[in-house]
Amino acid sequence: MPASPERPTLSIVIPAYNEEATIRACVLAALEQTEPADEVIVVDNLSTDGTARILEQLQREYPDAPLVVFRQDAEQGLVPTRNFGLDRALGEVLGRIDADTVLEPNWAKEVRDAFADPGVGAATGPMIYYDMPLRRFGHRADDALRRAILKLARDYHFLFGSNMAIRASAWRDIREIVCRDEADEYHEDIDLSIHLFERGHRVAYAPKMVAGMSARRLDDNPREFYSYVWRYQRTYDGHGIDDRRLRAPMVVWSALYPALKGMRWQQLRRMSAT
């Protein structure tokens, strides 16, 4: 549906690599919005499982849906695949979610509401962890945690890659300076946040812009998990930023990991028993 001058057009971009377990639910949630997106773009990055087959089936099932599927076969990696999709999106606002994200039905509406403010260059929102117990309580806790981190970080407002949107003009402004991260050491969403801040684009926190995601990161062993968390520090180090306030997410997630790991283990046990 065409957006009015106050309601910007919206593209949703989904990079995917071997996501046959989650891609169908992800795409359907992106398509079945109360205020539909103008296009939903999935970029398949060298998948070797059934991801491509599922996407082809969805296109057959929903021939009138604004679902666009690309393949990015030139190189493996989230950053080049993300860039490929964002570069080809036609919307005035570019949503970016992960292939295991399940958007709440009003997500597109809330994104457009956030970008009705012309001063917003990018926006991000809270998460519901749909494969963890006490999901609604977890959503409120996630929202409170993100608000607290934003206050600690002050100027550097974080984007969260599973639930974010960026104005197309802001993307074009930073497109040539975002880090390629060939060594896969950074948080690509934090890298985006830094470049947006340095170019004067405001990142807004939109509490009603809610998305669901898997807690499968908790299935990593402790060494892998802590290495993932410390990507924050490696990202800031790579940009020459030394500010202790920006360590807040690392401290918080490291402290919460044992309890969250226990909850995740209990949930998986219950799921396997049913």
pLDDT surpassing 90 at residue 53: yes
157 or 161: whose pLDDT is higher?
A: 161
Local confidence band at 196 (pLDDT 50, 70, 90 cut-offs): very high
How would you label 217-226 residue by residue, b for 16+ Cβ within 10 Å and e otherwise? bbeeeeeebe
Query: Using CA of residue 50, residue 51, residue 54, residue 56, what is the dihedral sign?
Result: negative
Fill in the DSSP letter of residue 3.
P
Report the alpha-carbon distance of residue 98 to residue 100 in Å, rounded.
5
Share of the chain above pLDDT 90, in %: 67
Residue 118 pLDDT: 95
Please give, one letter per residue, the 3-state secondary structure of 135-155. Answer: HHHHHHHHHHHHHHHHHHHCC
pLDDT surpassing 90 at residue 76: yes
Residue 137 pLDDT: 76
In this structure, are residues 104 and 136 in contact, taking their beta carbons and an 8 Å threshold?
A: no
Degrees (nearest 5) of the Cα angle 245, 121, 239? 40
pLDDT surpassing 50 at residue 2: no
Domains detected in the chain: 10-273 (3.90.550.10)
Fill in the DSSP letter of residue 127.
E
Global model pTM greater than 0.85: yes
**Residue bearing tokens 């639910």:** 25
Local confidence band at 46 (pLDDT 50, 70, 90 cut-offs): very high
pLDDT surpassing 80 at residue 153: no
SS3 100: coil
pLDDT tens-digit series, residues 222-270: 999 999 999 989 999 999 988 877 777 888 888 888 888 888 887 777 7
Report the alpha-carbon distance of residue 196 to residue 201 in Å, rounded.
5
